[in-house]
Amino acid sequence: MTAPKSSSARGRYLALLCLLPFAVCFVIFQIAPLAWVAINSLQSEAGWGVANFSKVFASKFYLQALQRSLEISFWSSLFGIVIATLGAYSLRQVDSKLRDFVSAFANMTSNFAGVPLAFAFIILLGFNGALTLLLKQVGLLEDFSIYSKSGLILVYTYFQIPLGVLLLYPAFDALREDWRESAALLGASHWQFWRHIGLPVLAPALLGTFVILLANALGAYATVYALTTGNFNVLPIRIAGLVAGDISLDPNLASALAMVLVGLMTLVTVVHQWLLKRSYHAR
Amino acid sequence: MRADARSGGWYHRAVVYLLFLILLLPLAGTLLYSLATSWSASLLPSGLTFKWYIALWSEPRFLAVFGQSLLVCVGALLLSVVLILPLLFVVHYHFPRLDALMNILILLPFAVPPVVSSVGLLQLYGSGPMAMVGTPWILIGCYFTIALPFMYRAITNNLQAINLRDLMDAAQLLGANTWQAALLVVLPNLRKGLMVALLLSFSFLFGEFVFANLLVGTRYETLQVYLNNMRNSSGHFNSALVISYFAFVLVLTWVANRLNKDKT
């Protein structure tokens, strides 16, 4: 690497100086809050220690929040990725006009999340929603509630689909069309092709997308808050309740819960980075 | 083999249409609801009207929050550009090794959900010398961290495409100093990529709710917080609000897509 001519020591100091405003803002709004949470999760009335964490893991209430968070994230990611995989694969096989239109539409609906999405589902599938009443009239719907766990999984799945399609679409590049022809020539059935070639080649991308969806659902707060006015017990709701609720404020306990969530997210991010390195379309 | 391919073609078209329908259904339902005079327990509403949109767009509180949302998002994007452009230039031109560190740092906004950051932000800046909670300033700062990973990646791809080093060397050979080369040669070449990144960032910042609700709430209401606070008003009115919001974002992403296509 040759140093540019003008890059004297003074130039380099000036360049470093240009980084300063960024560094200051990043520390104020990203590093410092995280550090505060990390430090205070280890503090309670008793002083330093893991008292907050043992409180979290001894409480049925918080364990339920954790379990529900994981359940909703897992199922919505699974449904989301199955639909997105089928969709993304078929998108590549149709003519370009239809493909461009539907992928542009998926791109736009990826912004349709959070509060507006919750409202759309309340209007259609809430207690007095147009679809609910209609489906009840024809007897197709017995006791489904959008405010229940299965309701939340449905809404979460909806916002996972566009994200999944966007992330998976390029991954199918790894699957070359002539491989399928070769496999067919050698006598492999449709099923055998997918079992022995298609899925193994796509596996890192599929898993990578799955963990992104998982992270997306684990951290989601707006949708579940708007849908249930904060009455459904999941981790993000509990954390926010402990710092901004009206009843019991306990920032230290909130920090411990937040660290549990960050731990889960970090695990997911590390797994994703590792899978990214293994995937076929990384050089 | 031929017949197989053709039946396969039908299958793929059907799947794509089904995907489109799934994604469309909640939006189409909300659109219809926002245009309905009343709609209950029937397949279609009993009549169509624009009165909900007229009521919405003549509601002063809505217009105020719409303006406030715009202000916060534009402010956050301005801050991001001012902070990220010099950063990218310095990293890629002077310290290419820092790029590896930056790629780890920009994972932080992903790994730390807004609800977690909010816990620390509320305690740190709730009172004391840096009290910002309840003001739009804290939102501008937080939105910068949300936009950072996306803008950093998008502009990095752009910088690699225009061959930063050659461009700088050529400009300096012709007598420009580093500042002139960066501002007058490199920046105009980044303009289109930057516009696309800004429009797309804007569309997701405009939909941000967690920071807005937890850190500021009604003290400086943004569109998403307003929508949430209107939960008890008429469903038709809310639908008109949701559709207006989505139409706005739709136009932005559409423009961004067009710009993106022109580029190649």
The domain ranges of chain B are: 1-49, 60-263
Q: What per-residue confidence (pLDDT) applies to B42?
A: 66
- Smallest Cβ–Cβ distance between B15 and the set A22, A90, A104 belongs to A90
Q: What per-residue confidence (pLDDT) applies to A281?
A: 53
Residue B63, CB-side half-sphere exposure with 13 Å CA sphere? 7
Q: Tell me, what DSSP letter sits at residue A2? A: P
Class of domain A52-278 (CATH, top level): mainly alpha
Burial class (CB in 10 A: 0-12, 13-18, 19+), A142: exposed
The domain ranges of chain A are: 52-278
Instruction: Determine contact, residues B125/B222, Cβ cutoff 8 Å.
Output: no
Q: How far apart are CA B83 and CA B106, in angstroms?
A: 14
Q: How far apart are CA B206 and CA B192, in angstroms?
A: 21
pLDDT-derived band at A128 (thresholds 50, 70, 90) equals confident
Q: What per-residue confidence (pLDDT) applies to A176?
A: 79
**Which of A39, A86, A108 has the highest number of chain B CBs within 10 A, making it the mutation to test binding with B?**
A108
The encoded tokens of residue A237 equal 């709701």
Lowest pLDDT segment from A28-42, A76-90, A237-251: A237-251
Average pLDDT over residues A232-236: 92
Residues with Cβ < 8 Å from A251, sequence gap 6 or more?
A: A40, A242, A243, B119, B122, B123
**Which of B2, B16, B180 has the highest number of chain A CBs within 10 A, making it the mutation to test binding with A?**
B16
Q: What are the counts of helices (DSSP H) followed by strands (DSSP E) for chain B? A: 13, 0
Element (H, E) at A48: strand A47-48
The encoded tokens of residue B72 equal 């916060």
Q: Kindly identify which residue of chain A lies nearest to residue B5, measuring between CA atoms.
A: A93
Q: Which range in A3-17, A185-199, B134-148, B152-166 is most confidently predicted, on average pLDDT? A: B134-148
Average pLDDT over residues B16-20: 94
Q: Which residues of B are less than 8 Å from A17 in CB distance?
A: none
pLDDT-derived band at A65 (thresholds 50, 70, 90) equals very high
End-to-end C-alpha distance for chain A, whole angstroms: 22
pTM, rounded to two decimals: 0.87
- Smallest Cβ–Cβ distance between B26 and the set A29, A124, A219 belongs to A124
Chain A and chain B share a number of CB contacts under 8 A equal to: 259
- Smallest Cβ–Cβ distance between B16 and the set A32, A94, A124 belongs to A94
Residue B159: closest CA among B221, B84, B105, B247: B84
Lowest pLDDT segment from A243-252, A254-263, B19-28: A243-252
pLDDT-derived band at A244 (thresholds 50, 70, 90) equals confident
Task: Name the more confident of B117 and A18.
Answer: B117
Instruction: Determine contact, residues B147/B80, Cβ cutoff 8 Å.
Output: yes
Please check the confidence at residue A283 and state whether its pLDDT lies above 70.
Answer: no
Contact with chain B for residue A244, Cβ under 8 A:
yes
- Whether residues B33 and A130 touch (CB distance < 8 A) is answered with yes
Beta strands in B91-187 (DSSP E): none
| The length of chain A, given as a count of residues | 283
Task: Name the more confident of A130 and B16.
Answer: B16
**CATH number belonging to the domain at B60-263, selected among 1.10.1750.10, 1.20.1440.120, 1.10.3720.10, 1.10.287.90:** 1.10.3720.10
- Smallest Cβ–Cβ distance between A22 and the set B84, B142, B246 belongs to B84
Q: What per-residue confidence (pLDDT) applies to A259?
A: 94
Q: How far apart are CA B216 and CA B126, in angstroms?
A: 11
- Whether residues B23 and A239 touch (CB distance < 8 A) is answered with no
Q: Which residues of B are less than 8 Å from A21 in CB distance?
A: 82-83, 86
- Whether residues A26 and B11 touch (CB distance < 8 A) is answered with no
Instruction: Determine contact, residues A151/A144, Cβ cutoff 8 Å.
Output: yes
Residue labelled with tokens 């980075």: A273
| CA distance to partner chain A, nearest, from residue B57 (Å) | 17
Q: How far apart are CA B229 and CA A225, in angstroms?
A: 12
Element (H, E) at A271: helix A251-278
What's chain B's average pLDDT?
Answer: 87
Q: Which residues of A are less than 8 Å from B116 in CB distance?
A: 33-34, 37, 239, 258, 261-262
Average pLDDT over residues B2-23: 78
Helix (H, G, I), strand (E, B) or coil at A47: strand
Lowest pLDDT segment from A268-282, B7-21, B143-157, B242-256: A268-282
Q: Tell me, what DSSP letter sits at residue B217? A: G
Element (H, E) at B55: helix B51-57
pLDDT, tens digit, for every residue of A168-180?
Answer: 888 887 777 788 8
- Whether residues B224 and A265 touch (CB distance < 8 A) is answered with no
Residue B1, CB-side half-sphere exposure with 13 Å CA sphere? 5
pLDDT-derived band at A36 (thresholds 50, 70, 90) equals very high
Q: What per-residue confidence (pLDDT) applies to B22?
A: 92
Q: What per-residue confidence (pLDDT) applies to B160?
A: 82
Q: What per-residue confidence (pLDDT) applies to B2?
A: 42
pLDDT-derived band at A117 (thresholds 50, 70, 90) equals very high
pLDDT, tens digit, for every residue of A132-164?
Answer: 877 777 777 667 788 888 899 999 999 999 999
**Which of B10, B23, B69, B143 has the highest number of chain A CBs within 10 A, making it the mutation to test binding with A?**
B23
Q: What per-residue confidence (pLDDT) applies to A218?
A: 92
Predicted complex: ipTM over 0.95: no
Query: CA B218 → CA A122, A241, B37, B61, B224, distances in Å?
Result: 23, 17, 30, 12, 11
Residue B225: what residue type? Answer: V
Task: Name the more confident of B131 and B261.
Answer: B131
Residue labelled with tokens 């390029």: A170
Please check the confidence at residue A7 and state whether its pLDDT lies above 70.
Answer: no
Please check the confidence at residue A3 and state whether its pLDDT lies above 70.
Answer: no
Instruction: Determine contact, residues A207/A275, Cβ cutoff 8 Å.
Output: yes
Q: How far apart are CA A51 and CA A44, in angstroms?
A: 7
Please check the confidence at residue A2 and state whether its pLDDT lies above 60.
Answer: no
Q: Which residues of A are less than 8 Å from B96 in CB distance?
A: 1
- Smallest Cβ–Cβ distance between A120 and the set B26, B86, B249 belongs to B26
End-to-end C-alpha distance for chain B, whole angstroms: 37
Q: Kindly identify which residue of chain B lies nearest to residue A21, measuring between CA atoms.
A: B83
**Which of B2, B10, B12 has the highest number of chain A CBs within 10 A, making it the mutation to test binding with A?**
B12
pLDDT-derived band at A1 (thresholds 50, 70, 90) equals very low
Residue A223: closest CA among A133, A161, A163, A147: A147
Residue B192: closest CA among B246, B257, B123, B263: B263
Task: Name the more confident of B3 and B132.
Answer: B132
**Given its phi and psi angles, is residue A126 left (phi above 0), alpha (psi -120 to 50 degrees) or beta?**
beta
pLDDT-derived band at B260 (thresholds 50, 70, 90) equals confident
Residue labelled with tokens 């849908």: A227
Please check the confidence at residue B193 and state whether its pLDDT lies above 60.
Answer: yes
Q: What per-residue confidence (pLDDT) applies to B16?
A: 94
Interface of A with B in 40-79 (CB under 8 A): 40
Percent share of chain A, pLDDT over 70: 94
Q: Which residues of B are less than 8 Å from A133 in CB distance?
A: 40-41
